[in-house]
């Protein structure tokens, strides 16, 4: 695979994740601030938490249904065609979101997020394409690190775009809440151009596009036929329960407890992106060469539990950024590690499918936790982070029990 093709895939992942770093700070402000154009000024704080969970949850559940389908589809029609389908879906979703903000429609906002979520499947396709182009295990692990680099740049770029294009001090009268989405539209168009001209894959076929809704569930249930991948998936479930619960509610918590606005929430995602960018780019291979993969994941869970505890105990907002950075710094090492395990659990012909499964697990948990999280935060705004701690500890138990088989030990390097 050429370097230009790799850059194209990184840019595609950047666009895929950009929407989260760009939208989350804006959604938090739209829902939690009293002058929101989407909600009535007298909307109670408890209902605002519920609406926040609904908007975020619909996005992730739509992503859940779309990810395994388009990932498997990429094994049939080719990575390139599947990526272009996702980018076109993103263009449509952003256009509807812009319309929703102009007319103050909560329904259109949710619809736009749903369409964007359903076609947010480019990350697993790019992961599979990177695996297709890898020459050996080290190259595959390095390429998985590159994917996380694209993710981190998306998380960094999103809040920067949101802050720069919506700030009147920078753009003057041109600054408004719609401008970040116009920027995202333009970047999507650039990504379409790059994919058309700079990326080719070896899986292109002339097979027709056939939409079968049952494909979503069939591909997820298929994992039961692969004992090794199934055991890994159990661990991934708890891994992502800790990860996404922290990710979804970190800015909502800070907005509620410390009064963060769009700028403050953008800085949260900027911190997450910076931590991911450094560790995923520079630390993955050195750490993997020094420690076996199970040790890396167990250490990650310990750091996560301590970081979540430190986060909710922080008496001032500035101190909360330290455990946020720590949490996602080690995530940048752990996630490409666990993706490498999934890649090693199936054949080369099924990489698109298995990468889709990993994203489906992430999005399903994110959707459910988002929908439940509004009520959880109404009980206690710290409760989601207690779940992070419990899930991290549960992951360690799974690694020590469910993963304690010769087949799993062979790919993790555990003694």
pLDDT digits (tens, 9 = 90+) for 270-324: 888 888 878 887 898 899 999 999 999 999 999 999 999 999 999 999 999 999 9
Q: What is the pLDDT of residues 389-405, one digit of tens each?
A: 999 999 999 999 999 99
Domain boundaries, the chain: 3-199+219-412
Give the pLDDT of residue 286: 92
Q: What is the CA radius of gyration of the chain?
A: 20
Instruction: Give the list of residues 6+ apart from residue 277 with CB closer than 8 angstroms, or none.
Output: 149, 152, 153, 156, 332
User: pTM, whole model, 2 decimals?
Assistant: 0.81
Distance CA 154, CA 22 (A): 9
Q: Is residue 246 scored above 70 in pLDDT?
A: yes
Give the pLDDT of residue 74: 76
Give the pLDDT of residue 130: 80
Q: What is the pLDDT of residues 13-65, one digit of tens each?
A: 888 888 776 777 788 878 887 777 888 888 888 888 888 889 989 988 888 88
Q: What is the pLDDT of residues 194-211, one digit of tens each?
A: 999 988 876 555 555 565
SS (H, E, C) 113-141: HHHHHHCCCHHHHHHHHHHHCCCCHHHHH
Give the pLDDT of residue 211: 56
Q: Note the helical H segments in 259-316.
A: 262-282, 284-290, 293-313
Q: Note the helical H segments in 78-206.
A: 79-103, 106-118, 122-132, 137-166, 168-171, 179-198
- In percent, the amount of the chain with pLDDT more than 90 equals 36
Q: Which of 153, 91, 376, 128 is nearest to 252 (CA)?
A: 376
Tell me the average pLDDT of the chain. Answer: 85
Domain 3-199+219-412 superfamily per CATH = MFS general substrate transporter like domains (1.20.1250.20)
């Amino acid at each position: 695979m050429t370097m230009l093709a790799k850059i194209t895939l990184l840019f595609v992942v950047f666009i895929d994740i950009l929407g989260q770093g760009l939208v989350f700070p804006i959604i938090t402000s739209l829902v939690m601030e009293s002058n929101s154009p989407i909600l009535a000024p007298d909307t109670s704080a408890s209902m605002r938490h519920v609406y926040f969970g609904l908007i975020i949850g619909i996005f992730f559940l739509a992503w859940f249904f779309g990810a395994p389908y388009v990932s498997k589809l990429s094994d049939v029609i080719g990575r390139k065609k599947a990526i272009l389908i996702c980018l076109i879906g993103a263009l449509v979703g952003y256009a509807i979101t812009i319309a929703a903000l102009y007319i103050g429609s909560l329904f259109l906002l949710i619809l736009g997020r749903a369409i964007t979520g359903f076609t947010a499947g480019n990350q697993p396709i790019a992961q599979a394409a990177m695996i297709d182009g890898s020459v050996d295990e080290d190259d595959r692990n390095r390429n998985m690190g590159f994917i996380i680099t694209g993710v981190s740049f998306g998380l960094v770029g999103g809040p920067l775009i949101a802050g720069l294009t919506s700030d009147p001090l920078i753009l003057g009268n041109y600054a408004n809440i719609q401008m970040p989405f116009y920027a995202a539209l333009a970047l999507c168009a650039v990504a379409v151009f790059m994919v058309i001209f700079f990326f080719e894959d070896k899986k292109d076929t002339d097979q027709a596009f056939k939409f079968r809704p049952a494909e979503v569930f069939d591909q997820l249930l298929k994992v039961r036929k692969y004992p090794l991948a199934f055991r890994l998936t159990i661990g991934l479930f708890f891994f992502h329960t800790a990860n996404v619960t922290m990710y979804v509610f970190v800015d909502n918590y800070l907005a509620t407890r410390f009064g963060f606005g769009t700028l403050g929430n953008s800085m949260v995602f900027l911190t997450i992106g910076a931590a991911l960018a450094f560790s995923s780019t520079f630390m993955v291979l050195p750490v993997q060469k020094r420690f076996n993969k199970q040790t890396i994941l167990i250490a990650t869970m310990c750091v996560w539990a301590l970081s979540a505890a430190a986060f909710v105990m922080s008496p001032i907002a500035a101190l909360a950024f330290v455990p946020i950075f720590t949490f996602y710094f080690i995530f940048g090492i752990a996630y490409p590690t666990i993706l490498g395990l999934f890649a090693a659990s199936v054949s080369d012909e099924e990489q698109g499918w298995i990468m889709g499964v990993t994203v489906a697990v992430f999005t399903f948990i994110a959707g459910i936790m988002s929908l439940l999280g509004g009520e959880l935060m109404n009980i206690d705004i710290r409760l989601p982070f207690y779940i992070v701690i419990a899930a991290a500890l549960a992951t360690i138990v799974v690694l020590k029990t469910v993963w304690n088989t010769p087949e799993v030990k062979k790919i993790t390097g555990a003694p």
